[in-house]
Amino acid sequence: MILLSFDIEEFEMPREYGDPIPFEEQISLSVQGTNRILDMLKAHGVKATFYTTANFAQNAPDVVHRIVKEGHELASHGYYHDHFKPEHLRQAKEKLEEIGGVQVQGFRMPRMMPVPENVIYEAGYTYNSSINPTFLPGRYNNLHEPRTYFRREGVWQMPASVTPLIRFPLFWIAFHNLSLSIYKTLAKWTLKKDGYLNIYFHPWEFLPIGPKKKYNFPFYVTRNTDMKMYWRLGEFIEWGKKNGYEFACTGHFVNKLK
């Protein structure tokens, strides 16, 4: 089973690289990218999970309505993408449920940062997908965490997928920078070992965010973005379907674990 997910947020990432853009533009670009993702998923007939900030949802409710209407899962990405308070967990869940008109089960912390599980449980979430169980200098040091799903503090943990043994991460950076044939080989290895694949992407990856002079992003971020990303992910989906893998929302997968 392949669990596709997308982190939907205010596009404030340029600020990390010294090139902030106005809030209205952040929302506009995320809307464009999300609609392109939805078009792609619709064309290939698969469902996915959209971890959405409440801040984005309030400023782009039509996109949230489309996510829900087209049968995808609406999950929480916190209230704001650039800062966090524990009370945001419940507030974001309630706001997303108000706007989307559906129950929100899942949470993913922006930038996959750690968050206390008891607070997630108390806020009413069923699962948390905020662990990247690998080591990336300056970003993640989670080699002590399990590679696959487990339960902690009453909450199901859904780590992002990494390969067996060497824990090579399979999230968006790998998808951009590996050849698609190598990525498929690593995905197949992981699927055979774990029985599922949990991978995530962002709306801005489906937009023309390069060259470097545009947002000052490094090459490994901008490589294979825009329509290249649209077609690459579409090709990966068709490869998965051809090989008999089911695509499902993360909440659907977690509900079968109960």
Instruction: Say yes or no to pLDDT of 172 above 90.
Output: yes
Structure confidence at residue 16 (pLDDT)? 87
**CATH code, residues 2-255:** 3.20.20.370
**Of residues 27, 32, 22, the one with CA closest to residue 9:** 27
**Of residues 186, 172, 185, the one with CA closest to residue 136:** 172
Average the pLDDT over 21-47 and give the result: 97
Per the model's pLDDT, the better-predicted residue between 205 and 258 turns out to be 205
Burial degree of 245 (CB within 10 A; 0-12, 13-18, 19+): middle
Instruction: Say yes or no to pLDDT of 72 above 80.
Output: yes
Provide the token pair at 208.
């023309």
Handedness of CA 127, 54, 17, 5 (dihedral sign): positive
Instruction: Say yes or no to pLDDT of 30 above 90.
Output: yes
Instruction: Say yes or no to pLDDT of 17 above 90.
Output: no
Average the pLDDT over 79-83 and give the result: 93
The pLDDT > 90 percentage for the chain reads 92
Asked if 175 contacts 232 with a C-beta cutoff of 8 angstroms, the reply is yes
Lookup result for tokens 């067996």? 164
pTM: 0.97
pLDDT band, very low/low/confident/very high, at 258 (cuts 50, 70, 90):
confident
The pLDDT > 70 percentage for the chain reads 100
Asked if 119 contacts 125 with a C-beta cutoff of 8 angstroms, the reply is no
Instruction: Say yes or no to pLDDT of 212 above 80.
Output: no
Instruction: Say yes or no to pLDDT of 193 above 90.
Output: yes
Lookup result for tokens 């774990």? 194
Structure confidence at residue 170 (pLDDT)? 98
Instruction: Say yes or no to pLDDT of 211 above 90.
Output: no
Structure confidence at residue 222 (pLDDT)? 95
Structure confidence at residue 160 (pLDDT)? 98
Average the pLDDT over 200-229 and give the result: 93
CA distances from 123 to 54, 99, 107, 253 (A): 15, 18, 10, 21
- Report the distance separating Cα 227 and Cα 121, nearest Å: 39
CA 52 to chain centre: 9
The dihedral region occupied by 195, where left means phi > 0, alpha psi between -120 and 50, and beta the remainder, is left
Average the pLDDT over 38-50 and give the result: 98
Q: pLDDT tens, 138-159?
A: 889 999 999 999 999 999 999 9
Work out whether strand 150-152 and strand 135-136 pair parallel, antiparallel, or are unpaired: unpaired
Beta-carbon contacts of residue 148 (< 8 Å; ≥ 6 apart): 159, 194
Q: What is the mean pLDDT of the chain?
A: 96
